[in-house]
Structure 1
Amino acid sequence: MAPDIALQIAIHNRLISAPALTALVLANHIKDSGTRPDNFPCIRLGDAQIVREGETRTTRSVRVYMDLHCWTHEGDMMDARAIADEVRNALSGELDVAGHDLWGNFWVTGSRTLRDPKEYGHVIVSVEAMMTEVRHAHG
């Protein structure tokens, strides 16, 4: 599985199992989507960048950068910021990513609050992971 997809699945699983977060955002409103949301409040996953860090016969290391978009509507920016804060809380600690070792190298690197038209609240939470995939050597 591609490292960005594996990381996204792990993040999604962590977010939907965080009671303080799902008290603010319904679990089925936390999903991968490339369009502006129509259900609020919500969290959109999926924007990712993969940078190769190194490769041997048995391992491949990559750095994955990912943005999580927290949206509200007809509220103030404080609501979107509260959701972003709970995202940061939910993502603290070790993260289990299928098929990859993180070795503690997962960070919430920051957040940006954006002014959006039509009374949307929008905060982007950025994360970074250094991931190593262990492969079987051939030959």
Structure 2
Amino acid sequence: MSADLALQQALRARLVATPAVTALVPADAILDRHHRPAPSPCIVLGETQEVDTGTSLQRRHTRIYHTVHVWVREPSTEGGKAIGAAIRAALRAGRLDLGAGLHCADQRLSSARYLRDPDGETTHGVLTIEALVVETGA
């Protein structure tokens, strides 16, 4: 399995297993899909970028930037920011389990932006989760 797919699956598993997240967003509204979300609120697992860290000649270290989108129909950005804070706390709960052959050496919420959607009714949070993944060869 690719490192970015393993990260995405582990990230969703962590979010749906974290009561502070599911208190704000139902587990069935934590999604991986291409079209604009219908449920409100929802979390959409988004795009990824993999970058070779260049830290070893074996090329086993990859930094992955995973975008997570938060959507909330609300009159302010308060709910979106609360969901972002819950995601940050979920990431701090321990390293993500990526399965055999991969090790998540570090993960963090490295950036978050909260935007007012042009529809005038929706907050759109764009969060970047950064993870350092090591191929273990197992």
Q: By the TM > 0.5 criterion, same fold?
A: yes
Instruction: Work out whether 1:109 is the aligned partner of 2:107.
Output: no
Q: What whole-Å deviation, never above 9, does each CA across 1:109-137 have from its counterpart, x for those lacking one?
A: 1211112122111111211111111237x
TM-score w.r.t. structure 2 length? 0.88
| SS state at 2:15 partner | helix
Q: What whole-Å deviation, never above 9, does each CA across 1:35-88 have from its counterpart, x for those lacking one?
A: 2101110000031001123452xx622110011111101442101111111111
Which one has the largest radius of gyration? 1
Matched residue, 1:121 = 123
**One-letter amino acid of the structure 1 residue matched with residue 122 of structure 2:** Y
The 8 Å contact of residues 51 and 62 in structure 2, kept in 1 or not, is answered as yes
Where does structure 1 differ by over 6 angstroms across 4 or more consecutive aligned residues?
none
Paired residues, what number?
Answer: 133
Using the alignment, how far apart are the partners of 1:65 and 1:75 within structure 2? 30
Cα offset for 1:94?
1.9
Using the alignment, how far apart are the partners of 2:108 and 2:3 within structure 1? 16
Task: Compute the RMSD of aligned alpha carbons.
Answer: 1.6
Using the alignment, how far apart are the partners of 1:3 and 1:44 within structure 2? 19
Instruction: Work out whether 1:100 is the aligned partner of 2:124.
Output: no
| SS state at 2:60 partner | strand
Identity, % of aligned positions: 39
TM-score w.r.t. structure 1 length? 0.88
| SS state at 1:101 partner | strand
| Matching of residues 1-139 of structure 1 within 5 Å | 1-54=1-54, 55-56=57-58, 60-92=60-92, 93-98=94-99, 99-103=101-105, 105-118=106-119, 119-135=121-137
Gaps of 5+ in 2: none
| SS state at 2:102 partner | coil
| SS state at 2:118 partner | coil
**One-letter amino acid of the structure 2 residue matched with residue 42 of structure 1:** C
Q: What whole-Å deviation, never above 9, does each CA across 1:87-115 have from its counterpart, x for those lacking one?
A: 11111132211131123x21211211112
